[in-house]
Amino acid sequence: MLYDETQIAKAIRKSEMAQNGKNETILNGALNKKTDDFGIFMKNATAKWSEASVENTLSNLDLTVTPGKLLAVIGPVGSGKTSLLHVILQELELVNGTLRVNGEISYASQEPWLFAGTVRQNILFGLPMDKLRYKTVVKKMCLRT
């Protein structure tokens, strides 16, 4: 996600928080009740990488992830593990179904990446400057000259 895109996504999340009182994202469905019983909830989730594709990448997936629990996503190559993660991260849109994410998610990709911006912007990632955190990251990443 580009730096500018994170600012837009953040504004949308703030708007949703103001509406429902929680840091919760609702896609392709309505929120009927507020609950802390789930961290991630998917119902009849269907997604595909290309609109032109005849076959769905994921079809009618139901998933509930309880906060504080460890979840392992395993399977053979091509089984949809990465697609599932991209749906949860909202990088792959649902064509049908519901996705609710309660709280925040952290994802560390296998491939390192930087967005077009300064080193400082890449470290802060749209957050306000926290000098202690910033200095810690610079030190841990050996970015001092």
* Token reading at 28: 């392709």
Task: For 61, list phi and psi in degrees, rounded to 5.
Answer: -85, 130
For the chain, counts of helices (H) and of strands (E): 4, 4
Per the DSSP assignment, residues forming a β-bridge with 68 are none
Total domains in the chain come to 2
Average of per-residue pLDDT across 74-98: 91
113 pLDDT tier (thresholds 50, 70, 90): confident
**Same structural domain for residues 87 and 118?**
no
Between 33 and 113, the higher pLDDT residue: 113
**Same structural domain for residues 32 and 20?**
yes
pTM over 0.95: no
**Same structural domain for residues 44 and 82?**
yes
Please say if the pLDDT value at position 31 is more than 70: no
**Same structural domain for residues 31 and 88?**
yes
**Same structural domain for residues 88 and 144?**
no
Between 26 and 110, the higher pLDDT residue: 110
CATH of the domain at 72: 3.40.50.300
What is the predicted pLDDT for the residue at 36? 58
**Same structural domain for residues 129 and 98?**
no
Structural domain boundaries, residue 120:
114-145
